[in-house]
Structure 1
Amino acid sequence: MIVFKFGGASINDANSIKNIGRILQNYTDELLVVVVSAMGKTTNELEAVVKAYLQQNDTHNNLLNAIAAKHLITAQNLFGATNTATDQLAQIFVDLQNQLNKPPRGNTDFIYDSIVSVGEIAASVLLSAWLNHCGLPNQWLDARDCILTDNHYREGNVQWQPTCQAIVQQITNLDNKGVKWAVTQGFIGGTPEHLTTTLGREGSDYTAAIFANALDAQYMAVWKDVAGIYSGDPRIVPTAVKINNLSYREAVGNDLLWGKSYTPQNDKTATKQKNSVVCALVFTAYRGRHPYTYPKPGSTAAYNSLPPKPNTTNAVYPRFFVYCRTLS
């Protein structure tokens, strides 16, 4: 079992989605869970919808229409004018518009989660449909049936035992049907009352770590557009340099990873479950032409080991850790 996570930048438009399809063609023999974020800056755009809706000004309709149009145009660019994905997306946004036609009531954080979560749902519908279209059979999986939380909206606390049981049951059901791939959403979960929660910003990495933990995954890969771990965000810090070797403790202790590579939620996942360690650190991929960041040999000796990776000798690795894979 492998868990892949694709962030908003990697599912930003039709070409990006096609690129994911090309990547995943290399993994047809694997059991795979694919976790996706919302397209591009959709989460920020939906947050603007929430703000306008709560203020009850007229702009929230225009904001939502623009978001819906972006997704529908992407579907048309992928599939043509008439397709099932377009119909599914249209219904998602009609349902949200119906919610916005009513005055806001109740917990504002609950309202936030019910609106902002649409970004991940829509993106996962698009990707799942495209993969099936490309002859890469998969099942769309509702993360709200898997990531079970309390009623702490916007910062849902994962209920570990029922979550692990739900994930295993959902994936087992797919396996019994002969389905090897699941496409699901990052960032979102569900309460016992089947209400939507979110896990906090950058929660998609957290979601992927939870799935990998519950399924005892061989590894989890976070697909990025940089070839390794840098001393800072290279898009913001021009002088940032790639770190060739890094231990988990160094990454956690020195704050070397910018937020989209390492988050406190991932560390909670790493330490929550005994004998099932998730080292939520973005390491390298196997893709040969880039000199990625590698774990320091011997730096994780407390964990179970995997076979040494290419170009390393006698290295000791965690039983499960996260790779950073380039999208290029």
Structure 2
Amino acid sequence: MTEIYENAKKGADFIVSKYPENFTTPKVAIICGTGLGGIANILHPDSKVEIPYGEIPGFMKSTVQGHAGKLILGYIGSNKIPVICMVGRFHSYEGYDIKDTVFPVRVFTVLGVSVLIATNAAGGLNQSFSIGDIMVIDDHINIPGLAGLHPLKGHNDERFGTRFQPLSDAYDHDLRFLVYQGAESLEISRSIHEGTYAFVSGPTFETRAECRYLQTIGADVVGMSTVPEIIVARHGGLRTLAMSLVTNVAVIDRPPSGKEKLPEKKMDDGIASHEEVLEAGKAASKDIEQIVKYVVNNL
């Protein structure tokens, strides 16, 4: 863990060397989920500086379609809040160690960021949710973490945080309140829910039985990111907000019986695809961009 801190310091120092003129310590870090890279468009265009991940010491390469793989520094809103925006994230299913996937959040912690906003694309388990709905995360279920794949596993460096990090308050209430306040102020008609996010490793979409299981244990949506980042952010003392865009509705019905001949393509009903995720993200991105802008500008 000591090595992680020193490496995070190197990454932070490099980013500081790229600060725009008169740029101060970023107050907010924003992680853009699959298909939601348009959030970077809300930064003031005349002050933006882009840094490819490949240039930053310790950063991995983003390999997933819909993840541009760059940091953007700049300001958001009329109050010119300094932010650092991560366009694309890292996942353990790409072959990276889980500590590598959260390394950017370690760097943000060393930089002095105080708020992390994470967005993601997720599958809807709650049957009242529809494609295009937004869910503000108020709790999570860390399936890999419960099984031992945890970003805080190993030696604990007190410069980041305590050994046993509580997570009952992981998702900041005041930030969640700002989301609803912003949606009302902006007259956004899209449905916004609160609920529990189930984190799974991926990269396969969940089976029907897995979806029923996750639904039974209390999950409203399921996805392959965000939770490790939130854990590490809270470990470093950052306030956190996370939002899921429901990009597909999980298939929970049992498969048709093999006792009878199957109608053509019946097994394909409701099947998830990455293309569907990207398309739903494109349709809803403008609303999420404006909500994020409102939240950041009112911190």
Task: With the length of structure 2 as denominator, give the TM-score of the two structures.
Answer: 0.29
Task: With the length of structure 1 as denominator, give the TM-score of the two structures.
Answer: 0.27
* Greater helix content: 1
* Greater strand content: 2
